[in-house]
């Protein structure tokens, strides 16, 4: 591969930028297009009245995938990006006044869990060990390579993973696995919440998802200095330094094909010829708007969407020493909450609240003595919902719950406010119905139904991002960019 190989990437999300860095490092000429004025897709920020907020993803795990990109580029990461490991993963608050601090140190975590939940240490050790085993056995199949190439299944590590299938709990739900592992329903609820990391419900997503705690507890949670926005900014700068061209504020209207081959991208009345196109747009929107001439994969298009969210950004004129970077305030009836999100049942008036406060790590993110509160409430990605109504309902529920549990009138402390709803998420990021993670993982075959990273019938057309293999979230998006780059360089 050399400069004569032209690669166009539609969408400057984290997956598209990762693919750009890898392809440029391999020698290709790369241009990235995005209709927005910033790089990073859902990784965006906003500021108001002295408060700064990360608007999208707020949890940083598996930093090795970021490190890989700098190593691939032959650059020193410290010249662009730095981060720190967090001593506390999350702080959990329950309606019965139970408070649990989840430490990153496994010994401290287990000791605290034994004190709060009266659980035997062996139960947690066994759970974390099995979580690590599931990740190690499946990463080569489900995360690091294309699921849609026969060569993946002929590798030794893949065969080892397939042999471990009976131990992966594919036939039981995550909730069933957790209920079997722990007696205390509060501890079950803590481990059930990992289903939300890919927008699914613990009552339907398969038990293999119990591998997710391994990423936090055994590998760790981290904070990028400067906030989550520093990730796309660092990668953008790295890519530009390598010679990747970015055309922001530029909407691609169509990915052009002729016969069984991609020919370029159309921007307005101009067609830019290219050898390969990597689509980093949401797969549903890509086929409906960017590839109207190509037959859509309707089975993949009809997959259940992941959950969406209503996000409040509050400038709070008080500091709360009892809170951490990541905080969860649990619903009293978790099942009823997920029934509404995934099944359309009756709304439960006591939602689970995720509260992120980056000013705990970067003090300049809020005025002195104040905090920047990012509050996420999981809601369904469904057409026809009245999001103005649900915003008002959720705002009151959040204020009532936090005021009760923190013993403070939160409403009087909100100095400034913004809100992001599913319809706004959809319009700003082209994510179908505002789904945060593309399709849900509420079925044991969901991974195999996800759209592949390439088009089987059109040469030169590739896909990356949260709506295709291997899935949503920063680590998986980075891996999708890696898989696409591997596909292209191996066939160049």
List, for residues 54-82, the tens digit of each pLDDT value.
Answer: 999 999 999 999 999 999 999 999 999 99
Per-residue pLDDT tens over the stretch 246-300: 999 999 999 999 999 999 999 999 999 999 999 999 999 999 999 999 999 888 8
pTM of the model: 0.94
- In the chain, where the domains are located: 6-41+64-69+227-303+450-491, 107-219
Class for the domain spanning 6-41+64-69+227-303+450-491: alpha beta
CB contact at 8 A, 92 and 249:
no
pLDDT of residue 389: 95
d(C-alpha 309, C-alpha 236), whole Å: 27
Phi first, then psi: give them for residue 145, nearest 5 degrees. Answer: -140, 170
| pLDDT tier, 383 (very low <50, low <70, confident <90, very high otherwise) | confident
CB contact at 8 A, 301 and 433:
no
Residue 491 clears pLDDT 80, i.e. is over it? no
Q: 36: helix, coil or strand?
A: coil
> End-to-end distance of the chain based on CA atoms, in angstroms?
6
pLDDT of residue 150: 47
d(C-alpha 290, C-alpha 283), whole Å: 10
């Amino acid at each position: 591969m050399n400069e004569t190989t032209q690669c166009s990437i539609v969408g400057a999300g984290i997956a598209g930028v990762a693919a750009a860095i890898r392809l440029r490092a391999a020698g290709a000429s790369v241009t990235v297009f995005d209709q927005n004025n910033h790089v990073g897709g859902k990784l965006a920020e906003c500021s108001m009245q002295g408060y700064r907020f990360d608007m999208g993803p707020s949890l940083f795990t598996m930093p090795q995938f970021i490190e890989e990109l700098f190593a691939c580029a032959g650059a020193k990461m410290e010249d662009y990006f730095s981060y720190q490991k967090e001593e506390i993963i999350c702080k959990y608050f329950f309606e019965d006044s139970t408070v649990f601090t989840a430490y990153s140190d496994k010994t401290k975590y287990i000791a605290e869990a034994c004190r709060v939940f009266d659980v035997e240490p062996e139960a947690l050790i066994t759970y974390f060990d099995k979580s690590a085993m599931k990740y190690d056995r499946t990463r080569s199949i489900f995360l690091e390579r294309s699921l849609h190439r026969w060569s993946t299944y002929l590798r030794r590590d893949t065969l080892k993973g397939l042999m471990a299938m009976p131990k992966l709990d594919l036939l039981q739900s995550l909730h069933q696995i957790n209920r079997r592992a722990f007696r205390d329903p509060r501890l079950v609820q803590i481990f059930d919440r990992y289903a939300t990391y890919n927008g699914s419900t613990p009552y339907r997503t398969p038990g293999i998802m119990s591998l997710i705690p391994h990423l936090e507890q055994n590998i760790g949670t981290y904070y990028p200095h400067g906030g989550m926005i520093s990730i796309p900014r660092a990668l953008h700068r790295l890519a530009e330094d390598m010679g990747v061209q970015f055309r922001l504020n530029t909407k691609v209207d169509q990915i052009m094909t002729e016969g069984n081959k991609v020919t370029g991208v159309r921007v307005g009345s101009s067609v830019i010829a290219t050898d390969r196109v990597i689509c980093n747009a949401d797969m549903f929107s890509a086929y409906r708007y960017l590839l109207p001439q190509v037959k859509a994969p309707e089975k993949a298009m009809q997959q259940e969407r992941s959950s969406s969210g209503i996000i409040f950004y509050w400038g709070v004129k008080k500091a709360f020493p009892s809170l951490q970077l990541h905080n969860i305030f649990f619903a009293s009836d978790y099942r009823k909450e997920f029934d509404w999100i995934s099944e359309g049942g009756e709304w439960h008036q006591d939602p689970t609240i995720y509260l992120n406060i980056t000013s705990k790590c970067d003090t300049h993110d809020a005025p002195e003595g104040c905090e920047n509160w990012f509050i996420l409430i999981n809601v369904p990605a469904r057409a026809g919902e009245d999001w103005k109504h649900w915003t008002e309902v959720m705002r009151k529920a959040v204020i009532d719950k936090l005021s009760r549990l923190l013993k403070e009138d939160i409403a009087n402390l909100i100095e400034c406010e913004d809100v992001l709803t599913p319809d706004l998420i959809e319009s700003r990021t082209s994510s179908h119905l505002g789904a945060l993670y593309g399709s849900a993982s509420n079925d044991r075959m969901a991974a195999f139904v996800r759209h592949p990273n390439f088009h089987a019938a059109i040469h030169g057309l590739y896909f990356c991002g949260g709506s295709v293999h291997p899935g949503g979230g920063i680590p998986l998006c980075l891996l999708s960019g890696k898989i696409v780059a591997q596909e292209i360089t191996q066939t160049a």
